[in-house]
Amino acid sequence: MSAWTLGVIGGSGLYEIDGLENVREERIETPWGDPSDALIRGEIGGVSLVFLPRHGRGHPLPPSGVNYRANIDALKRAGVTDILSISACGSLKEELPPGAFLLVDQFVDRTINREKSFFGPGCVGHVSVSDPVCARLSGFAAAAARKAGADVTEGGTYLAMEGPQFSTRAESRLHKSWGCSVVGMTNMPEAKLAREAELPYASLCMVTDYDCWRDGDDLDVSEILAILKANADKAKSTIRHLAESLPETREASPQGIERALDFAILTAAEARDPALVAKLDAVAGRVLG
């Protein structure tokens, strides 16, 4: 058992958190490069919280320009125990209208230009992501979002596309035909990297629009921005309710996420690349020694 240190990755429209006490900024260097921004530390309801704006303050980084490895590594070095990802998305289902919140439990990764693993030549690792989110953390987040007044759905599939352009109508209809619930550009490889770092991860998706699968629907960026602002206000309230509702003591994840690397490293000790092993000190130091 240990104390919670909640990491929050804020997506489009969420660049700061209200109500943080003892706020301080921390810049963390990682062997994977610079994270999106300085980490913002503070406390809410007695819970330690670390906030990282995914796109940087002022939104200078597009989805493909985010250094996902550096972000996850920095949060791990900061002592984060669990990550709540918050992101904007487009809906692929009629029953998920603009303004709805969705706690996803599955992903389809269609990104193509991103570094997707901490492991590689010289230290090969394979982790299971069959159930890519932490069910416990997702449940806590769903309850908190309802307290914040959000219309919440639990369970659904997030289609991650490369972007930065939105979908063509043909792509949107294809993604819908696959049974996906929402489409976005940022949760992959973020969720996979969190699992490699043995960090329980939950994804709260805020619907800004119906994607263009509906006849006659075209994305109106001005309308999306208005929904973004309303969603961001509820997201900030959700974070506060989540921090205040977490159990006083933190048990290990029932899914065993903190031990995801127990049998993941295939490269024999004598064949490992020392330079890569050194870079993995925060992410995989528990198993690499």
| H or E, element range at 89 | strand 82-91
Pairing of β 47-53 and β 39-44: antiparallel
What does the domain layout of the chain look like in residue ranges? 5-117+132-253
Looking at residue 1, its pLDDT comes to: 43
pLDDT for 33-54, tens place per residue? 999 999 999 999 889 999 999 9
Looking at residue 71, its pLDDT comes to: 98
Q: Quick one: tokens of 48?
A: 């330690």
* 240, amino acid identity: R
Determine which one of 37, 211, 217, 281 is catalytic.
211
- Paired strand residues for 10: 53, 86
Nearest Cα to Cα of residue 8 among 190, 151, 188, 163: 190
Looking at residue 175, its pLDDT comes to: 98
* CA distance linking residue 239 with residue 204, whole number of Å: 11
Looking at residue 217, its pLDDT comes to: 63
Looking at residue 2, its pLDDT comes to: 57
Q: In the CATH hierarchy, which top-level class contains the domain 5-117+132-253?
A: alpha beta
The whole model's pTM is what?
0.95
Q: Phi first, then psi: what are they for 204, rounded to 5°? A: -100, 110
**Positions in the chain whose pLDDT score sits under 70:** 1-2, 12-16, 217-220
Determine which one of 109, 209, 217, 233 is catalytic.
209
* CA distance linking residue 167 with residue 36, whole number of Å: 25
Buried-exposed string 219-233: b where 16+ CB fall within 10 A, e elsewhere: eeeeebeebbeebbe
pLDDT for 105-130, tens place per residue? 999 999 999 999 999 999 999 999 99
> Can 211 be counted among the known catalytic residues?
yes
> Can 209 be counted among the known catalytic residues?
yes
